[in-house]
A and B are shown apart, each in its own frame.
Chain A
C-alpha cells in the first residue's frame, strides 16, 4: 500500500508539473502577452511601448527561466530603471527592494499577484474556493443520497415499471447539460414574466448568506446533471448484485424482500457507486464553472473564467494547480477506497 501511495503521489506531482508548464507556455505565447500588456496598460500602446512594458515587468525572458522563477527554483528577476527605482517579482507593495527575498515562487509559498484583482493569488483562491466548497457541499448533500436512492430503487427489481420510469429520468438528467437545465429552471422557477417566481435567478446574494430562495437553483442545476450518471451506475451494480447466488439463498430461506435489499444487497451494491461518485467530482468542477457563470456566483469557477479571459497568468496557474490536485486526489481516493471497500482486490 505505501509504495503504491508513494508512486501515485509522485505521478501526481509529475502531472501537475507538466500541466502547469503547458498552461505557463500557452499563457506566455507572444499574442497573449501583448493582450495582457494592452489590457493592463493602455489599449493604444505602440508595439515598441508594448515591448518595453513587457520588458520592465519581466515577461520578455525565456520561458524556462520564467517557469523556474514561478516555481521558486532560481532567484527572481529584478529590474532597475534609469531613475534607480527597483522592480522585481518579489518586490511588491510594502516590500522594499533591500528586504525582498531572492526567490519567491510556489516552493516559497508565494503564488504571485493576480493582474486582474490586484491581490495575492493565494488569498483570492482561498476565498473563492471556500465559496465553491459551500456550493459543492450542498450539491453533494443533495446529489449523493438522491442518486443512490434512485439507483437502488431502480436496480432492486430490474425491468419493472418503477425501474423504467427512474431509468428514463436518470437518462434525461444526464442528457441535460448545466447550461440547459439552468436556463430551463430559471425560466420555470425564477422568470418574472411567465415563471413561478419561487426562487431567485441569481445567486450573488448566496455568497454572503445562502438562503433557500437564492441557493436552490444553482445547487439543483449541478446536482441534476451529476445525479443521472451516478444513479445509472448504482442501478447497474444493484441489478448485478440482485442476481447473485447469496441473494437467492437469502430469498429461499424466507427473508422478506426489504430485509434482503437492506441487509444483503445494499452493502455490496454500494462499492461501485463510491468510485463513480469520487470520479464524478472533477466533472462537477466543470459544472461549477458553468453554473457560477450562469448564476453570477463568484466562486472558484467564476474566478477561473475571469483569469482565463483576461490572461491573468499567475491566477490561472493557481487555478489549474487546484483543479489538477482535485482531479488527481479524487482518483487516488477512489482507488484506495475501492481497495478498502472490496477486500478481493489488492494493489501491489
Chain B
C-alpha cells in the first residue's frame, strides 16, 4: 500500500472524528434554538469570536469524551517498523486493525494521532476540575480576607504573595518528585486543599437556609455525605466503599496545579470583593441583620460573577499550559503517558529530523488554549454589553 496523500489523511481524520462533529452539531443547534433563554451562555452566540472559541473548546471536550471510539490504536501500542514514520504511512500487512498511522509514528513506533486524542482526555479531566478547585480555595479565603480585612487579610495576602514569589517551575521541581511523594507531603496538601470545596458548599447552604431548618439539614447532609466520601477516596485513598481511588501521580499533578493557581484566584476575588463591599446593597444586607457569610456568599459573590467567569475560562487555559510544562520537564505523569506536554517532551529530542510527533500535540495544546482565550474574550464582550 502507498503512503496516503495529505488530502486523504485529512479526509480520514475528519471521518474518524465523526462522533465529535455530531456532538458539536447537536450542541450548536440546541444552543441556537434556545439562545434567548440561556442567559450569558446564550448571549455568547451573538459574538463571532465567542462562538469560534466555544467551538474549539467544545471540539476538544468532545474529543476527550469520545476518545475511546476515535482512536485508531491503543496509545501505548508499539508496532515494529513504524518508528518515526511520516503521516499516512500504511501498516505492515501482518498487523491487524486500522490500516494507517494517520499522523505518523513516534520514536517508540506508537500512533501519534491516537496519543494526541488520548492526551485530550487527560487534559480535559484535570484542567477544568483543577481550576474549579483553585476557585473554591480562592473564593473561600479571598472573601473573608476582603470582608473582615485587618490581620486576617494581612496574613492571607502575605501567604498568597509568598507562593506567587516562587518561580512556578521551581515549585514543581520541589513538589512533584518521586522523593516528595515518598514523604506523603502531596497527600497532606490534598488533605488540606480538598477540604475547601466541602467547607465552601457547607457554608454556602448553611448561610442560605439558616432559617429553614428542614431544607438546611437536607442540603447539609447530602453535601457532607457525598463530599466526605469523595474526600476520603480522592485525598487519602481511603474510600470505605473502595470505589474511588486516584493514581498517586495524577493526584500530585492535580494538587500542585491547584496550589499554584489558588493564590492568583485569591487575589482576584479579594480585589473584587473589596470593591463590591462598599456598595449599597451590601450595607442593606448588613442592616437587615444578615450574617457575614450570607453577605459574602449571596450578596458579594454573585455580583462578582462576570469577571470570575471570564477568569475561569482563561485560567483553564493557563492550567493546560501548566500541565504541559509539567509534562515538558517530565514531572509527575508517567513517562509513557499520552498527555500533550509529555509527548512534546518526547518528540523534541528528534525535532530537527522528525518534527511530526511533537507538532501534533503542540498544535492541539495551542488550539485548546487559543479557544479558551477567545471564549473568555467573547464572554467578556457580552457580559459588558448589558
What is the CA–CA distance of A301 and B168 in the complex, to the nearest angstrom?
A: 12
What is the CA–CA distance of A328 and B373 in the complex, to the nearest angstrom?
A: 28
Partner of B328, one of A26, A35, A174, A179: A179
A→B interface (CB under 8 Å): 11, 15, 18-19, 23, 26-27, 29-32, 34-35, 171-172, 174-177, 179-180, 183-184, 186-187, 190-195, 201, 282, 285-286, 289-290, 293-294, 301, 304-305, 308-309, 311, 316, 319-320, 323-324, 327-328
Partner of B325, one of A29, A193, A290, A308: A290
Q: Is the CB of A193 within 8 A of B161?
A: no
Q: What are the residues of chain B within 8 A of A18 when measuring CB–CB? A: 162
- Give the contact stretch, choosing among B92-100, B127-135, B177-185, B250-258: B177-185
Q: Is the CB of B353 within 8 A of A324?
A: no
Q: Is the CB of B174 within 8 A of A324?
A: no
- Within B292-348, the residues touching A (CB, 8 Å) are 317, 321, 324-325, 328-329, 341, 344-345, 347-348
Q: Is the CB of A286 within 8 A of B366?
A: no
Q: Is the CB of B161 within 8 A of A15?
A: yes
Q: Is the CB of B183 within 8 A of A29?
A: yes
Partner of A175, one of B167, B182, B373: B373
Assuming the contacts A177-B325, A180-B366, A293-B329, asked whether A187 and B358 have C-beta atoms less than 8 A apart, the reply is yes
For the complex with contacts A30-B183, A183-B348, A183-B355, 7 further pairs of A-B residues with Cβ separation under 8 Å are A15-B165, A31-B182, A180-B363, A201-B351, A289-B169, A304-B167, A308-B173
Q: What are the residues of chain B within 8 A of A294 when measuring CB–CB? A: 348
Q: Which residue of B lies closest to A328 (CB)?
A: B165
Chain A proximity mask over B368-386: 1 for CB below 8 Å, otherwise 0: 0110111001000000000
Partner of A195, one of B170, B325, B352, B365: B352
Q: Which residue of B lies closest to A167 (CB)?
A: B377
Q: Is the CB of B370 within 8 A of A171?
A: yes
Q: What are the residues of chain B within 8 A of A184 when measuring CB–CB? A: 359, 362-363, 366
Task: Give me 24 A-to-B residue pairs in the complex whose CB atoms sit less than 8 angstroms apart, sorted by A's number.
Answer: A19-B166, A23-B174, A30-B183, A171-B370, A172-B370, A175-B317, A177-B321, A177-B369, A179-B341, A179-B344, A180-B363, A180-B365, A183-B359, A190-B352, A191-B351, A285-B167, A289-B167, A290-B169, A290-B325, A290-B328, A293-B328, A304-B173, A308-B173, A327-B165
Q: What are the residues of chain B within 8 A of A180 when measuring CB–CB? A: 324, 344, 362-363, 365-366
Interface residue total, chain B, C-beta cutoff 8 A: 47
User: Could you tell me the distance in whole angstroms from the C-beta of A23 to the nearest C-beta in chain B?
Assistant: 7
- Within B146-185, the residues touching A (CB, 8 Å) are 158, 161-162, 164-170, 173-175, 177, 179-180, 182-183, 185
Interface flag for B229 (CB, 8 Å)? no
- Interface centre among B183, B328, B351, B363, by most chain A C-beta atoms within 10 angstroms, is B351
Partner of B355, one of A30, A32, A193, A286: A193
User: Could you tell me the distance in whole angstroms from the C-beta of B176 to the nearest C-beta in chain A?
Assistant: 10
What is the CA–CA distance of A286 and B180 in the complex, to the nearest angstrom?
A: 22
Q: Is the CB of B173 within 8 A of A309?
A: yes
- Interface centre among B158, B167, B359, by most chain A C-beta atoms within 10 angstroms, is B167
Q: Is the CB of A175 within 8 A of B328?
A: no
Binding site secondary structure of chain B: helix
What is the CA–CA distance of A80 and B192 in the complex, to the nearest angstrom?
A: 44
Assuming the contacts A31-B183, A193-B352, asked whether A323 and B167 have C-beta atoms less than 8 A apart, the reply is yes
A-B contact count (CB 8 A): 141
User: Could you tell me the distance in whole angstroms from the C-beta of A181 to the nearest C-beta in chain B?
Assistant: 8
User: Could you tell me the distance in whole angstroms from the C-beta of B160 to the nearest C-beta in chain A?
Assistant: 11
Q: Is the CB of A171 within 8 A of B377?
A: yes
Interface flag for B28 (CB, 8 Å)? no
Q: What are the residues of chain B within 8 A of A328 when measuring CB–CB? A: 165
What is the CA–CA distance of A177 and B324 in the complex, to the nearest angstrom?
A: 9
Interface flag for B21 (CB, 8 Å)? no
Q: Which residue of A lies closest to B341 (CB)?
A: A179
Q: Which residue of B lies closest to A320 (CB)?
A: B170
- Interface centre among A175, A309, A320, by most chain B C-beta atoms within 10 angstroms, is A175
Interface flag for B205 (CB, 8 Å)? no
Partner of B174, one of A15, A27, A193: A27
Interface flag for B354 (CB, 8 Å)? yes
Assuming the contacts A18-B162, A282-B167, asked whether A174 and B355 have C-beta atoms less than 8 A apart, the reply is no
Q: Is the CB of A304 within 8 A of B362?
A: no
Q: Which residue of A lies closest to B52 (CB)?
A: A168
Assuming the contacts A180-B344, A180-B366, asked whether A31 and B352 have C-beta atoms less than 8 A apart, the reply is no
Q: Which residue of B lies closest to A32 (CB)?
A: B179
What is the CA–CA distance of A324 and B182 in the complex, to the nearest angstrom?
A: 28
Q: Which residue of B lies closest to A304 (CB)?
A: B170
Q: What are the residues of chain A within 8 A of B325 when measuring CB–CB? A: 177, 179, 290
User: Could you tell me the distance in whole angstroms from the C-beta of A95 to the nearest C-beta in chain B?
Assistant: 31
What is the CA–CA distance of A286 and B185 in the complex, to the nearest angstrom?
A: 24
Q: What are the residues of chain B within 8 A of A26 when measuring CB–CB? A: 174-175, 180
Q: Is the CB of A323 within 8 A of B170?
A: yes
Q: What are the residues of chain A within 8 A of B317 when measuring CB–CB? A: 175
Assuming the contacts A175-B373, A179-B328, asked whether A187 and B162 have C-beta atoms less than 8 A apart, the reply is no
Q: Is the CB of B179 within 8 A of A29?
A: yes
Q: Is the CB of B179 within 8 A of A31?
A: yes
Partner of B165, one of A201, A319, A324: A324
